[in-house]
Structure 1
Amino acid sequence: MDLRIFTEPQQGASYDTLLTVAKATEDLGFDAFFRSDHYLKMGDADGLPGPTDAWITLAGLARETRRIRLGTLMTAATFRLPGVLAIQVAQVDQMSGGRVELGLGAGWFEEEHAAYGIPFPKEKFPRLEEQLEIVTGLWATEPGETFDFHGEHYDLTKSPALPKPAQSRIPVLIGGHGATRTPRLAARYADEFNMPFGSPEDSETQFGRVRAAAQEAGRAADAITFSNVLVACVGKDDQEVARRAAAIGRDVEELKTNGLAGTPAEVVDKLGRYAAAGSRRMYLQVLDLDDLDHLELISAQVQSQLS
């Protein structure tokens, strides 16, 4: 199972902090550094020094890392026009030498839209579907040809469909708990399907829905990578687990139930349950970005035990 580091910078992180975590991610052998795409803090965090833009951040990291994959869980379709997003992601892919992945979701946090003057449309899911068709269509258009799209929400005429990404295909991630529309969308567009903050049992059920939708669409289910994201809180002993849980304002038992919490042996065991459910990749939501010892422990005593 691949382990990837996932951060929530809207809770409070500067670019320099994110750069430090990304370099540690690379040095410690993790597969990728991902970040959320939000402009407003959630809960009791102070959010200082303020939000950082996901794709500007990843552009900087693209030039300051060499190996790790870089991406979003999830960019909100409400934040950017699809043509602009296609340009941004393709450019960052070029800047990274072909290491970018795009997680794209409908957008859900209404307060951040109000806080920064971003329209929050009612028909978010249909817009997401059009965005996926446009972004992937622009990237797939052959050089010298043009791309046209005439939908209910977006209209593109004779787009040169440039620039092209460095990769022949940028992996697209789609995720969520929806039982019908989400699997259908994943079957059509996703290279990876991510189940956020779900149990092994719920993950297995949702992965099954996506596989069924893929087969119905005439696509091989094994063409899609299945993954999860869970908050990580690992300690060498119970005292260290409790200290790390307190630092992020969470209860140990709740984390053990809903996240990846405990000693390395406990976490490896739980990862095995997700692997049995069909997951091949785990995004570790790291909430204390100043605790690099946490990443070192996971690398040395969890990641080292995964094949």
Structure 2
Amino acid sequence: MDLRIFTEPQQGATYDDLLRVARAAESFGFGAFFRSDHYLGMGTEGLPGPTDAWTTLAGLARETSTIRLGTLMTSATFRLPGPLAITVAQVDQMSGGRVELGIGAGWYEAEHRAYAIPFPGVRERFDRLEESLAVVTGLWETPLGERFSYDGEHYPVEDSPALPKPVQAPRPPVLIGGKGARRTPALAARYADEFNLPFVSVEETRTQFGRVREACTAAGRDADTLTYSNALVLCCGADDAEVRRRAERIGRDAGELRRDGLAGTPGEIVDRIGEFAAADSQRMYLQVLDLDDLDHLELVADKVVPQL
């Protein structure tokens, strides 16, 4: 089981806060540092204000050396697919080939209204996501010296030189996730290297992973060529008192997090991860909400990782 650190900077974080966590995650041996891609806090003002995901990752690409970097999830409504392909390819170059693109249809209407971003209906958002995936991956995978065109309804591409190329060949990994029963599994089967489920139960995980596997079979793809992952809120403590203190720091109830998240002592965390592993999860994104508590990361690295 690969453990990755996942942050939510829209809740209140500066670039320096994120750099400190990313460097700590790297030094403790975690597989990756990921961040959300949101422009508005949820239930908070998120002071001092939002940071842009890909600007952040560009900075981290130059200030870290080994840890992988990515988004859960970039909203397809935020960026046109051509410029997004250029941005991610450039950050991949800046990092020496350590970038991954998590991308979704977008769901948080309030942030779109707050920052003048168009927010079409669900069907159109998924149509645009599908075209974005076709364009981004098509641009990256076009052989050097050849041209890329795409007859899209929303994002037509004509005779593009398809530059720049990312370092990773044929392209950086693409992550798709969510609980949709039809289009989400189909898009994952067609475009994704990894399928991610955020904040769901073991039972929901098993069901949705099954849908993705069925979609792969229908598309003629080996379902085992996908990586399957989960994201859960992390709240680990050396004892029950420390678990409660950490839960209180993020405004959550320890009992609720034990039931719905990834909470408890190191032994409990290992057992909980094992439940998801039994449902075929191969990777866990640990959502860290208190970015000042680097001891939290160290505890997991020292007491949980060696047992996995």
TM tier relative to shorter chain: over 0.9
Residue of 224, 227, 236 corresponding to 1:225: 227
Residue-by-residue CA offset, 1:49-83 (whole Å, 9 max, x unaligned): 11000000000000011111100000000000000
- For residues 109 and 216 of structure 1, the distance between their equivalents in structure 2, rounded to whole angstroms, comes to 31
Mapping of residues 52-201 of structure 1, within 5 Å: 52-122=51-121, 123-168=124-169, 169-201=171-203
One-letter identity of the residue aligned with 1:260: L
Residue of 258, 277, 286 corresponding to 2:288: 286
Q: Which residue of 2 aligns with 1:49?
A: 48
% identical equivalent positions: 72
- For residues 256 and 181 of structure 2, the distance between their equivalents in structure 1, rounded to whole angstroms, comes to 26
One-letter identity of the residue aligned with 1:150: D
**Shift in Å at residue 46 of structure 1?**
3.1
One-letter identity of the residue aligned with 2:17: T
Aligned partner of residue 5 in structure 1, secondary structure = strand
Aligned partner of residue 149 in structure 2, secondary structure = strand
- For residues 46 and 249 of structure 1, the distance between their equivalents in structure 2, rounded to whole angstroms, comes to 15
Aligned partner of residue 52 in structure 1, secondary structure = coil
**Shift in Å at residue 150 of structure 1?**
1.7
Aligned partner of residue 101 in structure 1, secondary structure = strand
> What CA RMSD, in Å, does the superposition of the two structures yield over aligned residues?
0.6
Question: 5+ unaligned residues in a row in structure 2: which ranges?
Answer: none
- For residues 216 and 66 of structure 1, the distance between their equivalents in structure 2, rounded to whole angstroms, comes to 40
**Shift in Å at residue 269 of structure 1?**
0.2
Q: Which residue of 2 aligns with 1:34?
A: 34
- For residues 112 and 199 of structure 1, the distance between their equivalents in structure 2, rounded to whole angstroms, comes to 27
**Shift in Å at residue 30 of structure 1?**
0.3
One-letter identity of the residue aligned with 1:220: D
Q: Which residue of 1 aligns with 2:21?
A: 21
**Shift in Å at residue 151 of structure 1?**
1.2
Count of matched residue positions in the alignment of Structure 1 and Structure 2: 305
Q: Which residue of 1 aligns with 2:2?
A: 2
**Shift in Å at residue 2 of structure 1?**
0.3
Residue of 245, 251, 256 corresponding to 1:254: 256
Aligned partner of residue 274 in structure 1, secondary structure = helix
One-letter identity of the residue aligned with 2:26: E
Question: 5+ unaligned residues in a row in structure 1: which ranges?
Answer: none
Residue-by-residue CA offset, 1:255-307 (whole Å, 9 max, x unaligned): 0111000000001000000000000000000000000010010110111211x
One-letter identity of the residue aligned with 2:193: D
Residue-by-residue CA offset, 1:163-196 (whole Å, 9 max, x unaligned): 0000002100000001111111100001000011
Residue-by-residue CA offset, 1:86-116 (whole Å, 9 max, x unaligned): 0000000000000000000001111101111
One-letter identity of the residue aligned with 1:163: P
- For residues 38 and 24 of structure 1, the distance between their equivalents in structure 2, rounded to whole angstroms, comes to 23
One-letter identity of the residue aligned with 1:153: H
One-letter identity of the residue aligned with 1:30: F
Q: Normalising by structure 1, what TM-score?
A: 0.99
Aligned partner of residue 153 in structure 1, secondary structure = coil
- For residues 46 and 74 of structure 1, the distance between their equivalents in structure 2, rounded to whole angstroms, comes to 21
One-letter identity of the residue aligned with 1:21: V
Residue of 292, 296, 299 corresponding to 2:298: 296
- For residues 67 and 143 of structure 1, the distance between their equivalents in structure 2, rounded to whole angstroms, comes to 27
- For residues 159 and 108 of structure 1, the distance between their equivalents in structure 2, rounded to whole angstroms, comes to 30
Q: Which runs of 4+ in 1 moved over 4 A?
A: none
- For residues 48 and 24 of structure 1, the distance between their equivalents in structure 2, rounded to whole angstroms, comes to 23
- For residues 136 and 80 of structure 1, the distance between their equivalents in structure 2, rounded to whole angstroms, comes to 15
Q: Which residue of 1 aligns with 2:12?
A: 12
Residue-by-residue CA offset, 1:205-255 (whole Å, 9 max, x unaligned): 111110111011110010000000000000000100000000000011110
